[in-house]
């Protein structure tokens, strides 16, 4: 059986010794050929931008570089790096070096960026995007780690449950008048192995005559954990005997 190829993203960083040498124009090559070979090696070492310059006047490569020339304004907006145009140039002492020039690019096109702190997530959150795509997790611990991460990021609008997470999600496509909706995320086992997360709106309405805490509301909604919880409990019980 052929081994599945894994595409690992390795973005350049201003702290990397090769990138630092490019930023400070420290490289020295005796010929253009050596400088070009160094540029080609960057393509093999780092993840390059899909938007490379077409028919450039001389060999070059565009990289996204973490911590590269971030202005105070960009930092507040959530920038974690910038795109850079890497090429070679001749030095005053007759050698060749590599240089990098910042390319101003809208934040939404950056592969990595800080999320602005909000009270609740939207469907653009990486974890929620994976849920919508139907990601399959190998272990239940991986799913619980996703739930814990959401709870840590949004402690005021999430309530952990047994194999569930109650949370509020911002999404204008749901209801323009009330874009924040209540949802329930629940772990489900997949036929053949693995786990996935299903989501649905939380339609549970508490008794208006009796005030309940978020924990009590979660407990009420969790009555009868169903087939999945029973299956997990059964497997754990078999391991103990």
Say whether 126-228 and 12-109 share the same fold: yes
Residue 196 vs residues 61, 103, 223: alpha-carbon distances, Å: 39, 39, 21
Contact between 201 and 183 under an 8 Å Cβ cutoff? The reply is yes
Contact between 38 and 26 under an 8 Å Cβ cutoff? The reply is no
Contact between 45 and 37 under an 8 Å Cβ cutoff? The reply is no
User: Which residues, 6 or more positions from 201, have their beta carbon under 8 angstroms from its beta carbon?
Assistant: 181, 182, 183, 184
- Does domain 126-228 fall into CATH 3.30.310? yes
Contact between 159 and 214 under an 8 Å Cβ cutoff? The reply is yes
Q: Where does the pLDDT of residue 205 fall: very low under 50, low under 70, confident under 90, or very high at 90 and above? A: confident
Tokens of 89: 């140039």
> What does the domain layout of the chain look like in residue ranges?
12-109, 126-228
Please provide the CATH number assigned to the domain covering 12-109: 3.30.310
Task: Give me the pLDDT at residue 176, please.
Answer: 60
pLDDT, one tens digit per residue, over 97-152 is 999 999 999 998 999 888 667 789 989 888 999 999 999 999 999 999 999 999 99
pLDDT at 227 over 60: no
């Amino acid at each position: 059986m052929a081994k599945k190829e894994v595409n690992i993203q390795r973005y350049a960083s201003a702290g990397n010794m090769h990138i630092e040498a490019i930023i400070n124009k420290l490289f020295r090559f005796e010929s253009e050929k050596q400088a070009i070979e160094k540029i080609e090696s960057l393509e093999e070492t780092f993840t390059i931008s899909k938007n490379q310059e077409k028919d450039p006047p001389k060999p070059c490569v565009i990289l996204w570089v973490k911590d590269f020339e971030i202005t105070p304004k960009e930092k507040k907006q959530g920038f974690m790096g910038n795109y850079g145009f890497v090429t070679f140039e001749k030095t005053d002492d007759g050698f060749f070096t590599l240089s990098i020039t910042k390319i101003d690019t809208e934040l939404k096109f950056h592969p990595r960026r800080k999320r602005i702190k909000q009270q609740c997530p939207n469907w653009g959150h990486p974890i929620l995007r994976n849920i919508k795509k139907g990601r399959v997790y190998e272990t239940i611990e991986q799913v619980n780690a996703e739930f814990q991460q959401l709870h840590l990021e949004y402690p005021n609008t999430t309530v952990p449950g047994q194999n569930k997470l109650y949370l509020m999600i911002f999404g204008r496509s749901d209801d323009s008048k009330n874009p924040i909706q209540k949802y329930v995320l629940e772990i489900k086992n997949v036929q053949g192995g693995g786990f996935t997360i299903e989501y649905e709106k939380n339609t549970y309405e508490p008794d208006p005559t009796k005030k309940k805490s978020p924990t009590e509301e979660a407990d009420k909604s969790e009555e009868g954990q169903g087939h999945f919880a029973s299956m997990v409990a059964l497997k754990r019980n078999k391991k103990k005997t």
